Amino acid sequence: MQIKKAVITAAAKGQRSLPMQTLIDQHGCERSVLSLIVHEAARAGIEDICVVVFPGDADAYSKLVGNGAGRLRFIEQHEPRGYGHAVWCAREFTGGDPFLHLVGDHIYTGDTGKGSAHHLVEVATAESCAVSAVHVTRENLLPYYGAVGGQRVAGRQGLYRVETVIEKPTPTEAEQSLVVPGLRSGQYLCFYGMHVLTPTVIEILGARLAAPGATGVTLSSALAELATREQYLALVEAGRRFDVGVKYGLFYSQLALALAGEDRDRILANLLDVVATRQPAAGAKA
């Protein structure tokens, strides 16, 4: 199985401006969030990238990636029918091919220079099936992510055969259906923001969207069905994901990039200086 295409979703009402935000990357260069995501895909060997956008946003997004714009194709999501619908909008682009999928509001850092997407594509290619990157996540963060449950693949570190998928589960749902062997109590495998998906996912989404009045269709619901139809794996990623859309998300993302970059020591020294010289809050005890 070869993965040479990628789909980035960036059309949600509250997400549209996030790929346009700028950060300083590990090399000290100013980059848009979209540019960082495109770079992540390119490092994974992706040749063609489709960005699903809100109508009219294509020109603005194209300017954000500079020289990388030539590899991009833009598809508009004309109806807000859910995250799953946004992925399905790229069906003509993906055709009958497997593809890498990334969300437009996450950036990634890690110890490997190849990137998380490269690792994910390598595993999906070797296993010839859909694979979702996941991260071991504390229970209090469950409201922000889809989560999976399953069993370890024998002899493979950090690889699980997915049996259950729940979108933003409650702690009770997670405890009942998503406990994974080997994880500590209160820890779960939550989506990392990138997947390698097979054409079956597009087929499942199409069937769900064909139902009368179907709206709010989630990718998680399609992945739950996928797990009953063909092999579907979850890969624990050692890197870190940062959602730029949450409170302080851009700050945490920038801090992570800075500490993973060439100016790490200088940044740390400045941070320590800020902490050491900060004024106590009004009313705080000395």
Confidence bin at 114 (pLDDT 50/70/90): confident
Q: What is the pLDDT of residue 70?
A: 66
Q: What is the 3-state secondary structure (H, E, C) of 32-46?
A: EHHHHHHHHHHHCCC
Whole-model pTM over 0.95:
no
Of residues 280 and 8, more confidently modeled: 8
Q: What is d(CA 156, CA 153) in angstroms, rounded to the nearest whole number?
A: 6
- 211 Cβ neighbours under 8 A, 6+ residues apart: none
**Do 132 and 234 touch, CB atoms closer than 8 A?**
yes
Q: What is the pLDDT of residue 140?
A: 95
Q: What is d(CA 61, CA 183) in angstroms, rounded to the nearest whole number?
A: 40
pLDDT in tens, 47-70: 999 999 999 999 989 888 866 666
Nearest Cα neighbor of 82 from 4, 28, 12, 171 is: 12
130-138 and 72-76 beta bridge pairing: unpaired
Nearest Cα neighbor of 202 from 279, 130, 122, 128 is: 130
pLDDT in tens, 180-222: 998 999 999 999 999 999 999 999 999 999 998 888 899 999 9
How many C-beta atoms lie closer than 10 Å to residue 30's C-beta? 9
43 CB-contact burial (10 Å; exposed 0-12 / middle 13-18 / buried 19+):
middle
The single-letter DSSP state of residue 82 is -
Task: Spell out a b/e string for 68-89, using b for 16 or more CB atoms within 10 Å of the CB, else e.
Answer: beeebebbebeeebbbbbbbbb
Looking at the chain, the whole-number percentage of residues with pLDDT higher than 70 is 95
**Do 79 and 85 touch, CB atoms closer than 8 A?**
yes
**Do 77 and 104 touch, CB atoms closer than 8 A?**
no
How many residues in the chain?
Answer: 286
Q: Is pLDDT at 147 greater than 90 in this prediction?
A: yes
Question: Which residue segments constitute the domains of the chain, with CATH numbers given?
Answer: 5-277 (3.90.550.10)
How many C-beta atoms lie closer than 10 Å to residue 282's C-beta? 5
Q: Which residue has the tokens 């500590």?
A: 184
Nearest-5° angle of CA 105, CA 229, CA 86? 25
Q: What is d(CA 216, CA 197) in angstroms, rounded to the nearest whole number?
A: 20
